[in-house]
């Protein structure tokens, strides 16, 4: 277990370093910065702009800026916003709970809907149900979040008036539609993996033996078919979490919600490099932790993987 944790820590640190480095240098390719743009719009002189940039270290060589910024991150200091002057950790921390609630609810919807659709496709119930599940899976994978979100707002908010289309309140009425829209967009890939692996597992010898023993269909489906299919399902759920982090930004924009996605988009528009870098490293950290948990959960449910990842566990 200790060896597994150490390996995952090394991978996590490498991923965070790569993500932060790419974000830092890519942002510097954009013309201008928050200080220059903001002060120029206010009509101050070029000398004042130069003094302000020098005070923030923006006139130093880019490699020097990178090393200083990276040193701060390693100390747990994400820097200060170039626009507001507030600590980046404070700016992101204020919006983090709203994004976490949105992402967690959408992931639960995606897992539940993906498992349901995949099991319907694989276990061959009535032709109507199977065709409906395949159609919904195809729509999920083919439709971008902004399209399904716009359609959902038009139907359920504008026409039927069941739920509000905008709002940052974290109550069920304001969260239901964003959860369903974002969760539906992620469920298709999960459903496809579930259908493929369950279809393979149900043809295995142990399943036919369980059927010959007269075990109930529900018990066979859960313990003899679904359980052996869990490792690839866990892997695709972890992968979809990466898309979830990007999808929250679009969903927050579409439903006019507060969140890290909104902060990041605004920071990009304002050339507020430090806030974007902070959001990138927080997102990379969350994704790295989730993939590590997925590997650990896979090792728990699959003895073959456990022997590889946790050789001393048994």
Dist. CA 72–CA 24, nearest whole Å: 13
Is the pLDDT reported for residue 299 higher than 80? Answer: no
Half-sphere exposure of 233 (CA within 13 A, CB side): 26
Identify whether the C-beta of residue 146 lies closer than 8 Å to the C-beta of residue 224.
Answer: no
pLDDT per position as a tens digit, 31-78: 766 667 666 666 666 777 777 777 777 778 888 888 988 888 888 888
pLDDT tens for residues 166-176?
Answer: 766 778 888 89
CA distance linking residue 78 with residue 273, whole number of Å: 11
What predicted TM-score, i.e. pTM, was given to this entire model? 0.83
Q: How confident is the model at residue 187 (pLDDT cuts 50, 70, 90)?
A: very high
- The secondary structure of 40-51 as a DSSP string is HHHT--HHHHHH
206/170 Cα distance (integer angstroms): 46
**How far is residue 165's CA from residue 86's CA, in Å, rounded to a whole number?**
31
Please tell me the predicted confidence (pLDDT) of residue 137: 94
Owner of token pair 């609810």: 105
On the question of pLDDT at 310 being above 80, the answer is no
Residues 246-266: pLDDT tens digits?
788 888 888 888 888 888 888
pLDDT at 136: 94
Q: How confident is the model at residue 189 (pLDDT cuts 50, 70, 90)?
A: very high
123-180: per-residue pLDDT in tens?
877 888 999 999 999 999 998 888 999 999 999 988 888 888 776 677 888 889 999 9
- Res. 184: pLDDT tops 90: yes
List the domains of the chain with CATH numbers: 2-74 (no CATH), 97-258 (1.10.3720.10)
Note the pLDDT tens digit of each residue in 224-248: 777 777 888 888 888 888 788 778 8
**Residue 95: pLDDT above 80?**
yes
d(CA 9, CA 30): 32
Q: Beta-carbon neighbour count of residue 76 at 10 Å? A: 7
């Amino acid at each position: 277990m200790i060896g597994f944790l150490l390996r995952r820590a090394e991978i996590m640190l490498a991923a965070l370093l790569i993500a932060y480095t790419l974000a830092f240098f890519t942002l510097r390719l954009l013309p201008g910065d928050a200080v220059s743009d903001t002060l120029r719009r206010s009509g101050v002189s070029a000398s004042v702009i130069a003094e302000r940039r020098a005070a923030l270290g923006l006139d130093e060589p880019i490699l020097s800026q990178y090393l200083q910024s990276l040193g701060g991150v390693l100390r747990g200091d994400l820097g200060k916003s170039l626009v507001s002057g507030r600590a980046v950790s404070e700016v992101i921390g204020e919006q983090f709970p709203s994004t976490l609630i949105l992402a967690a609810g959408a992931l639960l919807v995606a897992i539940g809907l993906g498992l349901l659709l995949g099991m319907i496709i694989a276990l061959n119930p009535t032709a109507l149900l199977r065709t409906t599940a395949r159609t919904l899976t195809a729509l999920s994978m083919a439709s971008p979040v902004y399209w399904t979100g716009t359609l959902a707002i038009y139907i359920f908010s504008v026409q039927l008036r069941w739920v509000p289309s905008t709002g940052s309140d974290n109550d069920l009425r304001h969260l239901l539609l964003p959860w369903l829209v974002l969760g539906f967009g992620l469920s298709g890939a999960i459903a496809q993996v579930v259908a493929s692996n369950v279809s393979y597992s149900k043809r295995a010898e142990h399943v036919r033996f369980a059927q010959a023993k007269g075990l109930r269909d529900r018990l066979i489906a859960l313990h003899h078919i679904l359980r052996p299919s869990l490792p690839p399902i866990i892997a695709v759920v972890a992968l979809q979490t990466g898309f979830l982090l990007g999808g929250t930004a679009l969903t927050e924009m579409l439903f006019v919600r507060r969140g890290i996605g909104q902060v990041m988009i605004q920071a990009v528009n304002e050339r507020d490099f430090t806030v974007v870098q902070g959001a990138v490293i927080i997102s990379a950290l969350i994704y790295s932790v989730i993939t590590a948990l997925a590997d650990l959960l896979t090792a728990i449910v699959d003895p073959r993987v456990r022997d590889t990842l946790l050789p001393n566990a048994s």
